[in-house]
Chains A and B, each alone.
Chain A
Amino acid sequence: MNVGDALPELKVTPDRYLTVRYAGASGDFNPIHIDEEFARQVGLPGRILHGLWTMAQVARAQTQAAGGPHALARLNVQFRGVGRPEREIEVSGIVAEVRDDVAIIHAVAKQDGKAIIRNAEAELRR
């Protein structure tokens, strides 16, 4: 990895029932993720993705690029806006810094052209 290199872009479209599966897998059953009517009642456009699921996509882009889970030493993200099911998400990243034993990656996750995770910074063990 060299400074300025782009990570392979990760594209994923969460299907209609993804939030239900992730709720079960993670234990986060907040109804804003699984109940369309409840989500609208609290002012959301509809059911929204779990932020930590979207963060897991950013993590996956890092570990796939680095060759496995052992490489991911740190990941820091800011959540912005809301992610929605059935719309493609694109995770991109660029190598910002390379030191002796680590590479620092700056990443973003976008949906419909808007960043739903921004200022993501990953530290990869080399």
Chain B
Amino acid sequence: MTVDVLIGKTYAPTTYAVGREKVREYALAVGETDPLYLDVEAARTAGHRDVVAPPMFAAVYSAPALGPAIFDPEVGIDFALMVHGGQEFRWGPLVVAGDEITTTVAVKDITRRDALGFYVFESVSTNQDAHTVCVGTWTNIVRGGA
């Protein structure tokens, strides 16, 4: 199978329920000190329903949807030879504890340059109100080519 036919292939969506303590755990692990992420009262005073997820929490709620794409035998990534080459996130409305985020992943591009394969996946994450909260572009580089 040539890689072209895989472009646009999508995988089953995953839904992630954003928990207050998970947001706090994540915020502390990445060194965030803004009370918006840690203190419910501070978040509510600022007009949010609950603690706010730091933008990079997108890596947590969208990652489960990436697994089936990275391990798709048709895509054929050798996981042992894969490195995370690049990442982009575009954010919409803030995510807060209590949100349910549904993420769908698609194969965006597969190219070969020199002895490297570039596998690009796109994740689109929407909240329970159907607002797009994050679009991620995940670039994985595999030694040995595509």
> Could you tell me which A residues sit within 8 Å of B by CB distance?
12, 18, 21-22, 24-28, 42, 51-53, 55-57, 59-60, 63-64, 68-70, 72-79
Contacts and interface: CB of A to CB of B under 8 A. Distances in A.
B144 to A, nearest CB: 14
Contacts, number: 89
A77 B56 CA distance: 12
Given A21-B29, A25-B26, A56 B56 contact: yes
Q: What does DSSP make chain B's interface, helix, strand, loop or mixed?
A: mixed
Given A25-B60, A79-B85, A56 B90 contact: no
Q: What does DSSP make chain A's interface, helix, strand, loop or mixed?
A: helix
Given A24-B25, A56-B31, A79-B85, 15 more contacts: A12-B31, A21-B28, A24-B29, A26-B60, A27-B60, A56-B56, A56-B59, A59-B54, A59-B55, A60-B31, A69-B52, A73-B91, A74-B88, A75-B55, A76-B137
B83 interface: yes
Interface residues of B, number: 31
Given A21-B29, A25-B25, A68 B34 contact: yes
15 contacts: A18-B29, A22-B29, A25-B28, A26-B26, A26-B29, A28-B63, A51-B84, A52-B87, A55-B87, A56-B30, A69-B34, A69-B94, A70-B94, A74-B89, A74-B91
